[in-house]
Amino acid sequence: MLQTSRHALLLLGLTAPTLLAQDLESLDPTIVDAERVNDDPAAVSVLSRDSLDLFQTESFADLSGLVPGFHVVAADSRGYGQVVAMRGSTNTLFFGPPALGMTIDDLPLGDAYTYPSEMLQLDEVRVHRGPHGPYFGRNAPAGMVEMRTPGFNDTFQNSLEAEYGSYDRFALRGASSGPIGENFGYSVRLFHDQRDGFIRNPLLGTETDDRRATGGLFNLYWRPDDDTELRLRLFAEKIDDGSQRLSSLFSPDPFTVFSDNPGVTDLERYQLSLHTRKTLNSGTFESIHGYQFWDLDPSTVDLDLSPFGPGNGFSDARSAIQQKQDLVSNEFRFSSPDDSNIRWRTGLFQMWIDNRGTAERQLFPGFVETTRFDIEQLNLAGYGNLTWQATDALAIDAGLRVDYHESEIDRIQRAPFQTDDIVRGSRDEWFVSPALGVTYSVHPAVDLFYRSSIGNKPGGFSAYSDNPLIAEFDRETNWSNEIGLEYDCPAYNLRFGVRGFWDQIDDYQFNQGVPRSTDFVVLNADEVTSRGVEIDGAWAPVEGLTFRGSFGYVDAEFDRFSDPFTGAIYDGRKVPFVPEYTGSFGARYDFQSGFYVQTSVRAAGTTRFDAANNTTFTQDAYVTWDAEVGYITEHFSVALYGRNLLDENYYTFINPQIFAGSPGDPQQFGIRVRTMF
């Protein structure tokens, strides 16, 4: 059934823009600017370009701590195997759906491990907290990240940037945008970034985790009239990296390994999409049609992190993974005029994903397990939401999402002297995700709000399980409630918010290692409760001086969970991959002469990396400190920067099955020069 659906959906994506173009001439012309949904301020954190620069944000993982309750656990493997946490909800490493969805220029992305590692120049990042299924085409069971790159320009704008720093880091970035004739426009952004590795291997006499990324984004715009825009978007990225950044937890130096297998990560990402927008008297119609391809070929890792010989029991454990993902998505949405007393948006959404791969795991010389899998998923959804301004002070927000989800697996594992292990299955399900919120303005600068919503993550299959009963996992359901206060006073250039949330999560999806192996599966914990407090704010007390800070406390624990492999009861234990708190604070001062200074800190609380909360697999709280000084004019800028100035040692990821971790970035310094013309 999924194969037939894929062909139909590909045809839909190809023909829909043609059908729209045929109807453009018959539609009533109106004038439109770039329309955005009117978001409840209680539910969204907006990170402007200035905020991203203040915290030297260059990757998706760098967003950790900037938004309360948000954290990325990463092994510096370009997103592969990363865990994205929001208010205690997480994705699983490879085979579960994301808790926090992501769109870039309205294009929905697939699984969390396919999220881009390099961040192009962005106008802003909007992080929506809590379930937001009724507000987006892409399902958002715990929240949504919207990234937006600069749009259409009616004047030519160009820039070139070069950077050099520690570990022979060298980066080049270029951008150009402007009109082409009367009705067309373009924008192009290119980047190349490389550095030597952080981890030294004396056995091989080299660094093992070198990094090299090259890519670009191209947009072609067509505006045949004032109320119509078509946009063709192409993104490509090629990664040529060394090994994952892993070292033994028992090593006296986390940046030294003695592996006899250096490891490699080669990865390519491609996105092709067509975006249309048409404004009518009754609202704005939009469509987004996309195809994405993600190709990991290969990722190799030395699992014992040591040379072959009697010192490691003649073990030669290593892994080689090839994995690909195709994604086809189509979305149609219609939203109210900007001046409507009742603001609304409704839409239809489709996404098809094919995730296939081959994993070879050698436990000792001559014994290699080979797993081949193909997992297909289909998601069809309808969604809608409205905000009614009942009085000048009272606004009521309501939404509903209906999903159909279908998944099937075809998996075979072969090993010497063993019969083939075959897992085949399929599942389908319907679910409904409602949301209701109330905002009351007690003062022109003060809003009180309450919001209740339900988020659903569909069930599916794990490819690394021999047992069909364990390979399948169930749907996760999150009933989320939050209450808070927002203060926004432009007269004092001051804004802050305080929120409290309580999430009751049934059938919580998370990773669990299979005993006496390097395999893992997605399990369901019967009940998890996550509760916490979030604070964020910004203040510009005098001209040129800006402060920005955030803090989020999360208490996420298992209420009821029994390990199916050992029978251990983990009731009351903390959920893995979720820091107890995250925080950030940054300050910047711009002198009238063009010079500026800025500094920022980030903090993460204690983080457990297994359900048992073993202290060996726990990262204690840590703080990192960055700073930058520079000079900027209308056409030129130069900056000297330092990152992790105190050279704090910490792990961003711990793998309990191989007793290894990924050390965080060490102390670095660099210079960045940019020209704009």
The region that residue 644 occupies, defined by phi over 0 for left and psi between -120 and 50 for alpha, beta otherwise, is left
DSSP letter assigned to residue 298: E
Mean pLDDT of 311-322: 80
Q: pLDDT category, 464, cuts 50, 70, 90?
A: confident
Q: Tell me the whole-structure pTM to 2 decimals.
A: 0.90
Please state the rounded mean pLDDT for residues 236-249.
Answer: 95
The pLDDT-based confidence of 172 (bands split at 50, 70, 90) is very high
Rounded to an integer, what distance in angstroms lies between the CA atom of residue 265 and that of residue 241?
5
Residue 101 in contact with residue 456, Cβ under 8 Å?
no
d(CA 65, CA 103): 20
Overall average pLDDT of the 243-270 stretch: 94
Please state the rounded mean pLDDT for residues 548-553: 97
Residues 145, 109 contacting (CB under 8 angstroms): no
Residue 11 pLDDT: 42
Confidence of residue 366 (pLDDT cuts 50, 70, 90): confident
Q: What is the pLDDT, as a whole number, of residue 17?
A: 42
Averaged pLDDT score across all residues of the chain: 90
Give CA–CA dist 379/428, Å, rounded. 10
Q: How far apart are CA 563 and CA 524, in angstroms?
A: 10
Task: Kindly report, residue by residue over 16-33, the tens digit of the pLDDT.
Answer: 444 333 333 333 322 222
For residue 129, count other CB atoms closer than 10 A to its CB.
26
- The beta strand positions in 514-621, using DSSP E, are 520-539, 545-560, 581-590, 595-604, 607-608, 618-619
Tell me the C-alpha distance between 60 and 277, whole Å.
28
When pLDDT is cut at 50, 70 and 90, the band that residue 116 belongs to is: confident
Q: Which residues contact 96 (CB under 8 A, 6 or more apart)?
A: 457, 460, 473, 509, 522
Could you please report the per-residue DSSP string of 330-372?
A: EEEEEE--TT-SEEEEEEEEEEEEEEEEEEEEEEETTEEEEEE
How high is the pLDDT of residue 2? 55
- Check residue 34 and give its pLDDT: 28
Mean pLDDT of 30-39: 30
Determine the average pLDDT of the residues in 398-423.
94
pLDDT for 364: 80
For 155, residues 6+ apart whose C-beta sits below 8 A from its C-beta are: 178, 179
Q: Among candidates 189, 160, 105, 1, which has minimal Cα distance to 635?
A: 160
What is the rounded average pLDDT of the residues 652-673?
96
Please give the residue range of the domain that contains residue 97: 2-676
Report the C-alpha gap between 551 and 533 in whole angstroms.
8
Tokens of 471: 């390979």
Whole-number Å distance between alpha carbons of 599 and 588: 7
Decide if pLDDT at 340 tops 70: yes
- Greatest pairwise CA separation for the chain in angstroms: 79
- Residue 402: CATH number of its domain: 2.40.170.20
Q: Return the pLDDT at 317.
A: 87
Q: What pLDDT does 81 receive?
A: 85
Give the integer Cα–Cα distance in Å for 565 and 52.
Answer: 44
Count of CB atoms situated within 10 Å of the CB of 545:
13
Task: Find out whether 630 and 638 touch, Cβ atoms under 8 Å.
Answer: yes
pLDDT (average), residues 190-214: 96
In total, how many domains does the chain have?
A: 1
Rounded Cα distance, 416 and 509, in Å: 32
In sequence order, what are the residues at sequence separation of 6 or more whose Cβ sits closer than 8 angstroms to the Cβ of residue 27?
278, 280
Report pLDDT for 338: 84
